[in-house]
Chain A
Amino acid sequence: MTPHKRIEVKKTYKLFINGAFPRSESGRVYEVLNAKDEFVANPCLASRKDLRDAVTAARAAQSGWAKATAYNRGQILYRIAEMLEGRAEQVALGLSAALGLTPLKARGIVTESIDRWVWYAGWSDKLSAIEGATNPVAGPYYNFTIPEPLGVVTIAAENSFLDFIDALAAAVVSGNSVVTLIDGGLAVPAMTFAEVLATSDLPAGVINILTGSLAELSPWAASHMDIDGFDISIIAKKNRAALKESGAENLKRFYEGGQSQSPARITAFMESKTVWHTIGI
């Protein structure tokens, strides 16, 4: 008798909201195929309600994340790198299957992504030295300026895993919480990466990942009154105007720079706070 070929246990792709992996409340999915048009996965097609849930989770988590010491945030980002190192193979397989990259190329991108987390991790306790100041005002006052996180930030990603990681790490290192919108096949490695986040000591809700259609999700995010910033670098230029127009309602900060491995991408989602205090006896 010939033994049966083992049937592989395949993963159900879900969303990552508030540290948990729920399905879309809408029950919607979309199909990801590989280069040979073979089935790869059915990621969730997130709804507007899923987005609202993710923003609620992000808002609730944000002050605690911002209040964590910079040392602690740096260690947690480094921990993400450690966990990703352990899962590198699986993420690379996802990149190959869903985005058609050669195994070598896919592995290279994951390696670079791990190093990118390490690079951003080191920024957490240096931002104040670079972006802050003590200001020599003409009077008996002690006056200083410090950078602070903006709040809840949305990033959009599609096609490039490394750019997704760069935008995400830049937004989160300063103390923002993030709602990530992922389109297309990138959902496959991104949701594996969500499992990295779930095991990396990152508090629940600090990073939330929604998969679906950017054409659907971006306008909802742009007009959401409790989202403070939006990284739209990967959105086609012709589609940005409508987002910026609806984001004006709460004077959302839009970042279009797309710089990778840059402190400018971090500070794009930071505010400067200036404090005066009298000097005297």
Chain B
Amino acid sequence: MTFEYAPSLESSSIVKIKPKYGHFINGSFVAGKKLFPTLNPATEEVLSQISLGNQSDIDKAVAAATKAYTKTWSKLSGKERGKYLYRIARILQERAREFAVLETLDNGKPIRETRDVDIPLVAAHFFYHAGWADKLDYAGLGKNPSAYGVAGQIIPWNFPLLMLAWKVAPALATGNTVVLKPAETTSLTALLFAEVCQQAELPDGVVNIVTGDGTTGAALVSHPGIQKIAFTGSTEVGKKIARAIAATDKKATLELGGKGANLVFEDSPIDETVEGIINGIFFNQGHVCCAGSRLIVQENIADELIRKLKNRMEKIRVGNPLDKNTDLGAINSREQLAKIRELSASGDAEGAERWSPQCNLSDKGYWFAPTLFTGVTQAHRIAQEEIFGPVLSVLTFRTPQEGIDKANNTPFGLSAGVWSEKGSRILWATQKLRAGVIWANTFNKFDPTSPFGGYKESGWGREGGRHGLAAYLKAGKRS
């Protein structure tokens, strides 16, 4: 007997997408010179036309942010800054469903995730940082720590509005003003956020949003009016930014790539572990820098675990992201789909064994079935390179130390997972894993109070918690 799910579609009538968008500079929308389309990756329908920011747009935005910093924002008390952030958090909660639907349309991720994870976390980030604005003397950075001035922020397409919140909320709470460049394929929720800033009566120029592609981002990074850069994206671009600012006084936080290990010991609670592995790699189509993309399982339970994992993967519902039953949505872009296919093909070529459940994938849009590779060795590209898609590489280990060594054997160090029923073993493993975020008997959990960021080539600095504030503040006098 099989259970079929009737479609349960979230209505998209709640969002009104304009035919074209300008940049948000100095409190109002300014038409850009060149436009490019933004698509719904589930259908390839054009949702709107977005402005391609050029040097002159960046100049105007930085000028507006500089003026807002010197004339208004830096003169405002922390208490009043905080109230603006609280307002933004409340408006985001009020308009949460609208944001969730728009994010799903523009990004391709399931409505279940935008509704239950992305947007609630966005509001939480603003609410959390709002409370810091008048308490910065207690952030461990001495008395009267000071803002840098104008922060240039570049965010990725995998969690468009959430990454905006991770960047904008701490920057504003600490008294900086912002020029933000959303990802090329996912600008719509950032542009809707601009409306929230207007509704909150945030002073003009405190938040500026310039849409565009890599050239727009490069112009922002190299602009002399920026004192601080915050970037989330690939390790490759992160290194380029580090080089580009080497001769300047600009500070940078970089949240880069990962190849997260999910380390499963023989005594792990197996059904719970299977759920955790699924969440670790298939959450958000695997478009997650901290995804648990390498399953490293103790050899004596590998067969049973893989059998259960395959069984569970067969139940994953891939399809219309607006369907509330959907688990796995669309791949964000044609380029990303090509990259996932290329890396997966390298897995075949290098001798790993590919398995996917039967899936009816739509002809329209960008889709990739949940995929498992077994027989993966540490030298395989699919064990070393970030795929950023729903593809899991399985490796095995015999002794606990071998498991740790394999887990640590990449240039990255962003996340890891540990699965075991034994407390002392979990603490032993978490001590040995070289990663900035470790989930024990869970995976892919996020919270504004919890610092996030990577070791090694996964980046510089932390976002969230007290630690995240340090990225936006110059230390004050030693208290």
Asked if A2 CB lies within 8 Å of chain B CBs, one says no
A135 x B242 contact (CB < 8 A): no
Asked if B453 CB lies within 8 Å of chain A CBs, one says yes
Asked if B131 CB lies within 8 Å of chain A CBs, one says no
Contacts of A262 in B (CB 8 A): 478
Choose among A240, A244, A273 the residue that contacts B242 (Cβ–Cβ < 8 A): A244
Interface residues of B in 205-244 (CB under 8 A from A): 235, 238-239, 242-243
A136 x B242 contact (CB < 8 A): no
Contacts of A245 in B (CB 8 A): 243, 246-247
Distance (whole angstroms) from the CB of A118 to the closest CB of chain B: 19
Residue of A at shortest CB range from B450? Answer: A135
CA distance A136 to B466 in the complex (A): 12
CA distance A249 to B242 in the complex (A): 9
Asked if A141 CB lies within 8 Å of chain B CBs, one says yes
CA distance A160 to B467 in the complex (A): 32
A249 x B436 contact (CB < 8 A): no
CA distance A275 to B438 in the complex (A): 5
Distance (whole angstroms) from the CB of A67 to the closest CB of chain B: 8
Asked if B449 CB lies within 8 Å of chain A CBs, one says yes
A272 x B442 contact (CB < 8 A): no
Contacts of A247 in B (CB 8 A): 242
A272 x B242 contact (CB < 8 A): no
A251 x B445 contact (CB < 8 A): no
B452 x A274 contact (CB < 8 A): yes
B442 x A278 contact (CB < 8 A): yes
* Known contacts A138-B124, A248-B239, A272-B436: A241-B442 contact under CB 8 Å: no
Asked if B108 CB lies within 8 Å of chain A CBs, one says no
Distance (whole angstroms) from the CB of A131 to the closest CB of chain B: 8
Q: Which of B75-83, B188-196, B455-463 contacts A (4 or more CB under 8 A)?
A: B455-463
How many interface residues does chain A have, given as a range? 20 to 34
Choose among A143, A271, A277 the residue that contacts B450 (Cβ–Cβ < 8 A): A143
Residue of B at shortest CB range from A276? Answer: B439
CA distance A138 to B242 in the complex (A): 34
Asked if B45 CB lies within 8 Å of chain A CBs, one says no
0/1 per residue, B408-450, Cβ < 8 Å to A?
0001000000000000001000100001111111100101011
Distance (whole angstroms) from the CB of A30 to the closest CB of chain B: 29
CA distance A147 to B243 in the complex (A): 27
Residue of A at shortest CB range from B242? Answer: A248
Asked if B465 CB lies within 8 Å of chain A CBs, one says yes
Asked if A9 CB lies within 8 Å of chain B CBs, one says no
B243 x A137 contact (CB < 8 A): no
Choose among A130, A249, A264 the residue that contacts B475 (Cβ–Cβ < 8 A): A264
A277 x B442 contact (CB < 8 A): yes
What are 13 contact pairs spanning A and B, CB under 8 A? A137-B449, A137-B450, A145-B451, A240-B246, A244-B247, A250-B456, A251-B256, A251-B457, A251-B460, A271-B455, A273-B430, A274-B452, A277-B442
Q: Which 8 A-B pairs have the closest CB atoms?
A: A241-B247, A248-B242, A244-B246, A137-B447, A245-B246, A277-B440, A135-B449, A135-B450
B residues sitting closer than 8 Å to A (CB atoms) are: 124, 140, 235, 238-239, 242-243, 246-247, 254, 256, 411, 426, 430, 435-442, 445, 447, 449-453, 455-457, 459-460, 462, 465-467, 475, 478
A residues sitting closer than 8 Å to B (CB atoms) are: 130-131, 133, 135-139, 141, 143, 145, 228, 240-242, 244-245, 247-251, 253, 262, 264, 271-278
* Additional A-B contacts beyond A145-B450, A251-B242, A251-B456 (10; CB < 8 A): A130-B140, A138-B447, A241-B247, A242-B246, A248-B239, A250-B457, A274-B436, A274-B437, A275-B440, A276-B442
